[in-house]
Structure 1
Amino acid sequence: MTDQLDDGYDVVVVGGGAAGLSGALMLARVRRTVAVIDSGAPRNAPAGGVHGLLARDGVAPAELLERGRAEVRGYGGQVATGEVDTVARDDDGFAVTLTDGRRVRARRLLVATGLVDELPDVPGLRARWGRDVLHCPYCHGWEVRDRAIGVLAGGPMSVHQALLFRQLSADVTYFCGTTPPTAEQAEQLAARGIRVVPGEVAALEVVADRLAGVRLRDGTLVGREALAVSSRMVARAGFLAALGLRPAEHPAGVGEHVPADAAGRTDVPGVWVAGNVTDPAAQVGAAAAAGAVAAAQINADLVAEETRLAVAARREPFSAAAEARLCDLVLGERRHGL
């Protein structure tokens, strides 16, 4: 493994999670020069395993990423540890500058930096995140099935979250805080046998490294073995600001994302996004699939550009600009033995 980077690539992938590595794998397999730059801080690092991923259910997050990196490298792609500081236009490509001063050029960008979970400010909660403080019934629900589960209100999806976790346990309590559910929501919760507990949550109680319950501000302790929370999900995309590409509020009200079309193409030509940076709800399998789709679109875009240049050079063999650009592309192909 090396963190050394070449001067330029067909594609630089920012973010080495499931989406980024899947995209890089697809690009490397069609002989694109590709570099993955990853900060080494995956969102799912606290989780014991990745679930719902066909044929790899339960695999440790770190193991999945290491296998992915090895596959990308096996096809000639590079994977380097680093954090992108800025991205700027550079002729018909991009100049990518890392926080350690390294600089690399890319013809296209695939941004798969994921998101940050902003959690409720409840003492003891963050330390349990990914263990017995959870957010997704599909990712973690089986592991807490039939236990005493609490759901902490705090977002537009909280009641929906409580109804989802009710599918996994008959003992679900909804901590509504100081904002009671609407009449319709209260009816739904009651119909499903979900207890509603009012009052501000003060802290989590942990005994022998296990969640024991939820302590209310008035001192009441409600015993719970697992707690579901709705985080505010914020895209890791500040480095794109110089390109005029900024996160926007997600239509579901769950946080911020970078808008894109179904293939991951953004409003900035040459920039694609994939995974949680654009789709906060995407699980690992969906993020990997999105990375592959975006990669195929990027390759098609590059093929179209190269074909236009080749046609122009054939029609005007003495066009210095076309010849120089085509020469650069041919040199890139020779590096792959084409």
Structure 2
Amino acid sequence: MNEYDVVVVGGGAAGLNGALMLARSRRSVVVVDAGRPRNAPADGVHGLLAREGTPPAELLARGREEVLGYGGEILSGEVADVVRDGERFVVTLTDGRALSGRQLLVTTGLVDELPDIPGLREQWGRHVVHCPYCHGWEVRDRAIGVLATGPMSVHQAQLFRQLSDDVTVFSHTTPPTAEQAEELAARGIRVVAGTVAGVETDSDRITGVRMADGTVVARDTVAVASRMVARAGFLGGLGLRPVPHPSGMGEHLPADPTGRTEVPGVWVAGNVTDLSAQVGPSAAAGANAGAQINADLIAEEVRTAVAAYRDPFSARSEARVAELVLGDRRHGL
């Protein structure tokens, strides 16, 4: 079993930036990445200063190189289970490999659950979008249809109205309230009542939204608020499970502002805890969590060193000091 100070589960912006902070602090750290980034369908990352428009795969490749350059490790694989073994966490992968870490940073992101409407998933990330800050500029001035599926749909429509004067809300499963209908009308946003049956496409582009009665409303972009659910099933053995987010947008893993969860030694960062975070905030949260983890490890090492200093012949102290010395040797100290 490979032993590390920290095992990072998830190799997106949050996980890589957390690993970068830890590796630069001379911690032994490994990033386990399943290779299924949420933003893979997107052409570029937006709203990220000095990296505007960078293809997601290129951004991650740069991040991996930086982590490796400071002695961190990147491991391709998917985590099946995590259990506590004494003072360490044992992380088991789906292929049977096992890793051990003193602390665990979970940055596995989330899954977008879309309504079961033909055409949505196939166009997801291109002509079917969800975030005006991620995709808005790219669909400006287009004929945008907003599919109302939850509590954030009207707000979503108002955000896209900033980008186009041709916005239509399809009430579908969540008709607007009287107050919302007035607000939409005041901004020139049309509301189409009824259930949506599908999205019409032609040559890999959207041409319209088809209603249950057969009517087709011409649109070339569809916005829909997905239900976002944290990827965290492997933490069930530790008693950590996703819970409903206060916004009603999905399920997340709660944590304090540093990323610390209710389970000592387990930290989270990025979309797994903050459903609406873009790449920049996710990376910042990962860096913050990495720094806090390092501080916790230092506090533990100080306590152990003091105990050994006071009782140098303690078997427990000797064993722990040997472990710390081994960790130092990994980094050439």
Identify which range, 165-174 or 209-218, moves more after superposition: 209-218
In structure 2, the partner of 1:7 is 2
The aligned amino acid for 2:168 is: T
The aligned amino acid for 1:317 is: P
Q: What is the alpha-carbon distance in structure 2 between the residues aligned to residue 208 and residue 106 of structure 1?
A: 49
Task: Report if the CA contact (8 A) 1:174-1:196 is conserved.
Answer: yes
Task: Determine whether 1:34 maps to 2:29.
Answer: yes
In structure 1, the partner of 2:175 is 180
In structure 2, the partner of 1:78 is 73
The aligned amino acid for 1:264 is: G
In structure 2, the partner of 1:143 is 138
Task: Determine whether 1:254 maps to 2:249.
Answer: yes
Report how many aligned residue pairs link the two structures: 333
SS at match of 1:12: strand
In structure 1, the partner of 2:305 is 310
Q: What is the alpha-carbon distance in structure 2 between the residues aligned to residue 148 and residue 180 of structure 1?
A: 20
- 1:115 pairs, out of 106, 110, 115, with 110
Task: Determine whether 1:153 maps to 2:148.
Answer: yes
Task: Report if the CA contact (8 A) 1:22-1:291 is conserved.
Answer: yes
1:188 Cα deviation from its structure 2 partner: 0.6
- 1:325 pairs, out of 314, 320, 323, with 320
How does 1:96-115 map onto structure 2 within 5 Å? 96-115=91-110
- 2:230 pairs, out of 232, 235, 238, with 235
In structure 1, the partner of 2:82 is 87
SS at match of 2:5: strand
The aligned amino acid for 2:94 is: T
Task: Report if the CA contact (8 A) 2:169-2:192 is conserved.
Answer: yes
Deviations 1:61-88 (A, max 9, x none): 1111111111100000000100000000
SS at match of 1:127: helix
Task: Determine whether 1:125 maps to 2:124.
Answer: no
Q: What is the alpha-carbon distance in structure 2 between the residues aligned to residue 11 and residue 258 of structure 1?
A: 19
The aligned amino acid for 1:231 is: S
**Unmatched segments (≥5 aa) in structure 1:** 1-5
1:180 Cα deviation from its structure 2 partner: 2.4
1:179 Cα deviation from its structure 2 partner: 4.0
Deviations 1:209-260 (A, max 9, x none): 1111101111111111111001000000000000011111000000000000
TM-score w.r.t. length of structure 2: 0.99
The aligned amino acid for 1:224 is: R
Task: Report if the CA contact (8 A) 1:86-1:240 is conserved.
Answer: yes
Task: Report if the CA contact (8 A) 1:178-1:198 is conserved.
Answer: no
Task: Report if the CA contact (8 A) 1:155-1:230 is conserved.
Answer: yes
Q: What is the alpha-carbon distance in structure 2 between the residues aligned to residue 47 and residue 105 of structure 1?
A: 34
SS at match of 1:177: coil
In structure 1, the partner of 2:184 is 189
- 1:21 pairs, out of 2, 7, 16, with 16
> 1:17 and 1:178, CA in 2 relative to 1: closer, same or farther beyond 3 A?
closer
The aligned amino acid for 2:282 is: A
The aligned amino acid for 2:187 is: R
TM-score w.r.t. length of structure 1: 0.98
How does 1:178-217 map onto structure 2 within 5 Å? 178-217=173-212
In structure 1, the partner of 2:286 is 291
Q: What is the alpha-carbon distance in structure 1 between the residues aligned to residue 9 and residue 29 of structure 2?
A: 11
SS at match of 1:86: strand
SS at match of 1:214: strand
SS at match of 2:136: helix
Deviations 1:273-305 (A, max 9, x none): 000000000000000000000000000000000
The aligned amino acid for 1:111 is: V
1:334 Cα deviation from its structure 2 partner: 1.7
In structure 2, the partner of 1:3 is none
1:178 Cα deviation from its structure 2 partner: 4.9
In structure 2, the partner of 1:244 is 239
Q: What is the alpha-carbon distance in structure 1 between the residues aligned to residue 200 and residue 173 of structure 2?
A: 20
Moved >4 Å (runs of 4+): none
Cα RMSD, aligned residues only? 0.7
Identity %: 73
**Unmatched segments (≥5 aa) in structure 2:** none
